[in-house]
Amino acid sequence: MTVPEQLAPPPLPQLIVSDLDGTLLRNDHTVSARTSAALAAAHAAGIEVVFATGRPARWMGVVAEHLHGQGLALCGNGAAVVDLRNGGQLVEVRPLPRENALAVVHALRVAAPGVSFAVERTVGIHQEPGYPPLKMDPAIEVAPVEKLLAEGAAYRGAPVLKLLAHHDSLDPDAFLALAREHTDRWASTTRSSPDALLEISAPGVSKASTLALRCARAGIDPARVVAFGDMPNDLEMLSWAGTGYAMANAHPAVLAAVDRHTASNEDDGVAQVVERLLAGRG
């Protein structure tokens, strides 16, 4: 007897991709037991799990205990693909050309006086004297951004993953709009912080575009990708995936743009959806 098509459970996704901060992680930057169990169950069901974050590879220890045999991560908003099972080994890099970064710096200094910069390379982060002190790890060097972007011997072979731009007084969304207006010809600009902090990558580089490249190579159908996110740097990924979920705590623009919503990161919103998918309830 054939199960009527309308009663058959939907096929499982081939891939689940989740942002970290504000999405998979709780506000104390931990993975809950429920979320960890959901990821393990997804892996056991043959679903690939990928993390997509603005974080650099060296800040990925928060999920190191929750890989469940997998461990691919798109870091720096897609500028770097890393294998977390192998100590964060770089698999692929999509660097920001030095000339593009310098053009962005010059344009933003005119458009947003008072802006300060940091440079994220594959070897670590560097910052200008006026850039806010870094909490997660200290800057390798503090100097004007033009020096930080120089092709000196100390940085040879260490590509720029992204340029960070901070402003003390501009509204975060207004700063993003201003930056895109003046710099889109040289870079892709987004934000994931509650502050006026922009993340600037090479043209066309985003979580979505890097994910699309990886899925095309692996033969994964975008229609069978489920994505989770909460901030503007997730929007393209949520739109590209066959099914995208905005967290209840997401930025208003994300909530408005994405049809499907789930519970907040504090309430295990990712786990709730994964559990339903595995139970065949969609």
pLDDT for 174-209, tens place per residue? 999 999 999 999 999 999 999 999 999 999 999 999
Q: pTM for this structure?
A: 0.93
Q: What residues does CATH 3.40.50.1000 cover in the chain?
A: 5-93+206-278
Q: What residues does CATH 3.30.1240.10 cover in the chain?
A: 98-201
Per-residue pLDDT at 152 exceeds 90: no
Mean local confidence (pLDDT), 235-250:
98
Which residue would you say has higher pLDDT here, 123 or 208?
A: 208
Q: Residue 82 in contact with residue 73, Cβ under 8 Å?
A: yes
E-strand stretches of 62-122? 72-75, 80-83, 89-93, 116-121
CATH architecture of the region 98-201: 2-Layer Sandwich (3.30)
Task: Look at residue 95 in the predicted model and tell me its pLDDT.
Answer: 96
Q: Which residues pair with 8 in a beta bridge?
A: none
**For residue 263, with 0-12 CB atoms within 10 Å meaning exposed, 13-18 middle and 19 or more buried, which class applies?**
middle
Residues 232 and 256: their CA atoms lie apart, in Å, by 11
**For residue 193, with 0-12 CB atoms within 10 Å meaning exposed, 13-18 middle and 19 or more buried, which class applies?**
middle
Mean local confidence (pLDDT), 220-224:
97
CATH 2.60.40.10 at 5-93+206-278, yes or no: no
Residues 194 and 125: their CA atoms lie apart, in Å, by 20
Task: Name the percent of the chain lying above pLDDT 90.
Answer: 80
DSSP-based three-state secondary structure for 51: strand
